[in-house]
Amino acid sequence: MLRNPFPLSLKPLARSALRASGSGRLNAYRRQQRVCLSACAVNNRLKAQPSPEPKPKPAFSKHDERDLIYEVLSTVPSQREARHFLRRFVNSQEGEVKKNQRPKEYVESLLSREKANFLGLIKIQPPFTEGLFDTVAPTLVHLKRLGLMPIVLLDHDLEEVEPSVQQGELEKLDHRKRRALQEALKLVDAIEHAGGRSRVLDDQVFFLSQRGQTRSSADAPSDIMLNPNDQEDYVTAQLKGVFKSLEIGQIPVIVPIGTTDTSISKPVKSDPAMIALSQALGRMQSVEMDSHTSVKLMIINQDGGIPSPQHHGAIGFINLKDEYSEIMANLQTDSTNPSRRHVTTLTMIKQSLENLPVDSSAIIVPAKSSRLLISNWIRDKPLYSAGQPKSQQAQVNSSVIRRGFEVKIYRGLEGLDIEKLNNLLELAFAKPLDKSGFWKRVETCLSSVIVAGDYQGAAIVTNEHQTHPYLDKFAVDPKKQGGGIADILWKKLTSAYPELTWRSRKDNGVNKWYFERSDGNVRIPDTNWVLFWYGRNGIDNLDEYYKIAKEIPPSFHSMKHK
C-alpha cells in the first residue's frame, strides 16, 4: 500500500516551502507528512542566508504565509492533483501548467492574488460558540489567498425569539437585527485579525414581497418562498453590494435581513436566503459573469456532514441525482433535531446547486474542522471516498455533494450503446480498442456494466472462473475528470460487489487512486501488472486472482496498430 502522501516529485517542493517559511512547524510537518528532512539541516540553511532588510509588517504575516503553505502542501498528495488544481486556478491566458514546474514557481502561483475567478458561497450556522469565529476566519482568509472569493452568509437562530404582536413585533424584530449585526461584526473583526479585509452587508441584499407579487429589478431573479408553511413572504437577492466588496478585496459578511415593499426590515431564514443568492449568482453567470466562473457552496455547522446509516460518521460523497430520495427517506425516519437540520440543509443544497453551473459542488464540515474546506478547494473531490478503509472515513465528519449523474446498471449487452462505450474506453485509455476480441470475451462472462450519465463514465465487471467478480474496465471521460464521476462509479461498484479484483499496469498513473481503495495489492512476477483486490476473502482467493490476471488477454491494440 502507498504510505507516503507526498511522492518523491513533491519532496523538493516541501523542502523549498519549509526553507521559505521557517522551521516553526517542522516537527508537526515531519510527523504528518513523513518528509525526512532534519531540523538541523533547515536551521543551517536559514543561518547561511543573509539577514533581510527590516520591512513593515504586512497585512498577511509570515506566520500566516507559513501556515498557508503548510496547509496547501498537506492537502496535495500527488503531482497530478497539484496540476489539476493549477489548471483550474491559473487563468487560461497564462497557458498550461508545466509538469516540471519548480517548487518556487508552484508556491508563488498558489499565492498569487490576482487569479481568482471562483466564488465560495459560505453559510455559517449557529450556535456561535466562544472562539468559533477565530477558528473559521483564518480559513476564509486562506481560501481567498488561494483564489476562492468567499461570500459569507451568517445564519442566526430565528426560533429563539419569534415575534408576537402582543409583546410588540417591531421591538422583537429590532432585537433580532441587533443581535445578528453583533455576531456579524465579531466575524468581521476575526477576519481582519487573521490578515484579511471584510465588511458587513445588512441591507440592500434581500428583498421581500407578498405572495403573487415580484420586484421589478434586473438583478432580482424569480421569487423563492421562505418556507412551505409561510404563504406571505418571498425573498429575492441583489448582488451589487456583494460584488463591490469583492472588487476592493473585502470578504462580504451578509446578515439575512430583508426589506419589504413598504421598506420594513425583517429577518430572512437562512436557507431561503442561500437559495436566493444562488439563483442571483446563477443568473449573473448566464448573463454577465465569465463563462469559467464556478461556485462552491460551503456549509459550516456544529453537526458536520450528512450522517450515514451504514456506519458511524458522515456520508463522504453524495450524488444527488442518484441518492437524494433514499437519503431523505432515511433522514425523515429520525425525528431528532439534528436529523431535521440535515433534511433542511440537504434540501437547500439541492435547490441551490440546481441554480448554479453544472460543475458547482457543495461541502458540509463541522466548525472545528473548517480548514478541511481548503483541502476540498484544492483537490476538488471528497476528503474520503467509498472503498477507502472505514478507519479513514471515521476521521473526517464531512460530506461533499454534487448534482451528479444518473447511474444505470446493465446486466447484459441489451440496451447498451456499444458505440458510445467504445468511444469512452478509447478516450479514457488513449488506445484503440480491440473491439471484436474484447466484446467476444466479455459477452461470455459479463456480470454488469455500470454507466454514469450519458457515458461520461463506466465500469465493466465480469465473472471469472464463474465465481469471482473482476473489474475488467473502469473508465472516465478525460474531459469530465474532477467532476466526481469516478467516485460516483466506485460507490455504486462497491455497493454491488462486496468482493472484487482487478489489475493495472504498474506504470498506470491511476494506481495511487487504486492503492487507496484496495485492501491489498501485489505485483505479478514476470509481467507488467499489479494485482488489486478488496473484500474480506481477498487473501484466501489470491491464487485464483493470480490466475485470472494472467489469463485475460490485453484489450487494446498498440498505438502502432492504429
The CA distance from 353 to 359, in Å, is 9
Cβ neighbours, 10 Å, residue 35 = 17
Closest CA to 123 of 380, 379, 296: 296
Domains and CATH numbers, the chain: 62-88+114-159+169-211+232-402 (3.40.1160.10), 407-551 (3.40.630.30)
pLDDT value at position 106? Answer: 53
In this prediction, residues 534-554 reach a mean pLDDT of 93
Q: Which residue's entry shows cell 429577518? A: 267
Environment class of 268 (CB within 10 Å of its CB; exposed 0-12, middle 13-18, buried 19+)? buried
pLDDT band at 404 (very low <50, low <70, confident <90, very high): confident
What cell numbers appear for 186 in the block? 465579531
Percent of the chain scored above 70 by pLDDT?
67
pLDDT given at position 371 = 82
pTM over the 0.85 mark = no
Report yes or no: 316 and 400 within 8 Å, Cβ to Cβ: yes
Rounded CA separation 493/409 (Å): 10
Cα–Cα nearest to 360, from 279, 269, 272: 279
Helix (H, G, I), strand (E, B) or coil at 122: strand
Q: Which of 110-119, 215-224, 245-254, 276-285 has the highest mean pLDDT?
A: 245-254
Q: Where are the alpha helices (DSSP H) in 216-269?
A: 240-247
**What burial letters (b/e) apply to 155-174, b meaning 16+ CB within 10 Å?**
bbeeeeeebeeeeeeeebbe
Q: Answer whether residue 562 shows pLDDT above 60.
A: no
Task: Summarize pLDDT for 436-454 with one digit per residue, the tens.
Answer: 999 999 999 999 999 999 9
| pLDDT single digits (tens) 465-489 | 989 999 999 999 988 876 788 888 9
Prior bond of 50 cis (ω within 30°): no
In 49-192, which ranges are E strands?
118-124, 148-154
